[in-house]
Amino acid sequence: MTPAEALPWGIAGLSAVAAAAYAFAYSRACRRAAQLEVESARLREEPKTNEYRLERFDLVWYPAVTYAERDKLVVKAASGVPHCKACVAPLSSSGKGWKCPGCQTMRPETIADTAATDSVMKEALRFFLQRRADYRVAPELERFK
């Protein structure tokens, strides 16, 4: 009796099982590749954010610039919340001024805070555009350039 005759299905049966296993593995790999391609495309389209650290006006700021990499477009810029320079805790605004929850330092709130916020955002935007000259700014951010 040959080895092929010893198998209950013979060589043809063994070949059919191997072909079915290969077809199953191949279709599974193709489905996974398609899923990964969809995920990759989604990640490429999602806006990305760069955050910076700036020390201005006796405060620490963490402004952020959000951009669409595929379109080479800055879609958002934000100055962030001012942080205490001594302990780097985010300041909270009370009716009387800015208070640090960490070291309890009080800083009076003034009309200049709005100008400082805009100044920090402009600096973050300028910093981003210096390093990525091929990006353009969304129309609503043009005034901050």
Q: Determine the pLDDT at residue 1.
A: 54
What pLDDT score does 6 carry?
59
Measured between alpha carbons, how far is 44 from 8 in angstroms, rounded to an integer? Answer: 53
Q: What is the per-residue pLDDT for 135? A: 95
Q: What is the DSSP string of 60-97?
A: EE--EEEEETTTTEEEEEE----EETTT-PBPEE-SSE
Instruction: Please give the pLDDT value at position 42.
Output: 75
- The pLDDT assigned to 108 comes to 81
Q: How far apart are CA 62 and CA 20, in angstroms?
A: 57
Q: What is the pLDDT of residue 136?
A: 94
The pLDDT score that the predictor gives to residue 4 is 56
Instruction: Tell how strand 48-51 and strand 64-68 pair up.
Output: antiparallel
CA distance 116 to 82: 10
For the chain, give every domain's residue range.
3-45, 48-144
* Residue 100 per-residue DSSP state: -
Q: In what order do the strands lie in the sheet with 97-99?
A: 92-93, 97-99, 106-108
d(CA 101, CA 118): 24
How far is Cα 25 from Cα 83, in angstroms, rounded to an integer?
55
pLDDT in tens, the chain (145 residues): 565 565 566 677 778 888 888 999 999 999 999 898 888 877 777 899 999 999 987 889 999 999 998 889 999 999 988 899 889 999 888 777 888 888 888 888 776 677 888 899 999 999 999 999 999 999 998 887 7
